[in-house]
Amino acid sequence: MTERLSKYRKQFLEDWFDFNGKGMFFIICLTYLALLFVKRIFIIDTIAAFEVLNERGEIWVFDILFGIQYLSVPFFLAWKWTWTTLILWIGCFMFGYRLHFNQLWKMVMLAELVFFLPEIVKVLWFTLFYTDPDYNDYMAFYPFSLINLVDYTQIDPKYHYPLKSINLFELLYWPVLILGIYFMSGKKLKISSYIVLSTYILFFFVWLGFYMMVY
């Protein structure tokens, strides 16, 4: 089993991980921008309240806000990946794993592909199934998350973000990080699990707790 994993690790590093980081960053940003544009055109613009604003000529305020959102995508992703990488890099250092920060950053960027799935599911949900939402329904929805198990209108808004953040795709993201550290380090899978558990996952729940405290 160990030999097979070592073989996969070598193949991963040589055939899959040796990609252009700047090019991948550009592609991921473009993909997120495309998804934002699709959601704006096919979902948000069809919501009754926005149709009324458009008829009154008052939609320009939201056009500015959406424009800012488009411009913020690369900055937000770079900020998110840098902090995630820093936390994991510190964890690796504490456990004796000396990984290059830039290589770890590339791994975190590659792991972000997991979060394309909920964006695609959200587009499909509101264009094929729930075709007449209001804006609050749209904002409160996150595929396969805890918020879907409750009536969001009956709970305090400060719990909306934490309940959306705990979802199937976030849970899938954790083993992706674990495998990424394992393949890059070539050491024990168990230790890689400890690193992610004691850094990213711990800070993830600390952040949610902090958010609810200061909301």
pTM for the complete prediction? 0.87
Question: What is the tally of structural domains in the chain?
Answer: 1
Q: Is the pLDDT score of 166 beyond 90?
A: yes
Residue 197 gets which letter from DSSP?
I
What is residue 1's predicted lDDT score, i.e. its pLDDT? 47
CB proximity list for 170: less than 8 A, separation 6 or greater = 204
What is residue 184's predicted lDDT score, i.e. its pLDDT? 84
What is residue 51's predicted lDDT score, i.e. its pLDDT? 54
Which residue segment(s) compose the domain that 125 sits in? 2-214
Q: What tens digit of pLDDT does each residue of 79-106 get? A: 999 999 999 999 999 998 888 898 899 9
Tell me how crowded residue 28 is: count the other CB atoms within 10 A of its CB: 20
Tell me how crowded residue 77 is: count the other CB atoms within 10 A of its CB: 16
Contacts of residues 112-115 at CB distance under 8 Å and 24 or more positions apart, as own/partner, are 112/28, 112/77, 112/81, 113/28, 114/169, 114/172, 114/173, 114/176, 115/169, 115/173
Q: 36-40, 48-52, 80-84, 203-207: which range is least confident on average?
A: 48-52
Residue pair 192/178 in contact (Cβ under 8 Å)? The answer is: yes
Q: Where does the chain have alpha helices with state H?
A: 2-11, 21-42, 48-56, 60-94, 101-111, 116-124, 135-140, 160-165, 168-185, 189-196, 202-214
Q: What tens digit of pLDDT does each residue of 17-30 get? A: 677 778 889 999 99
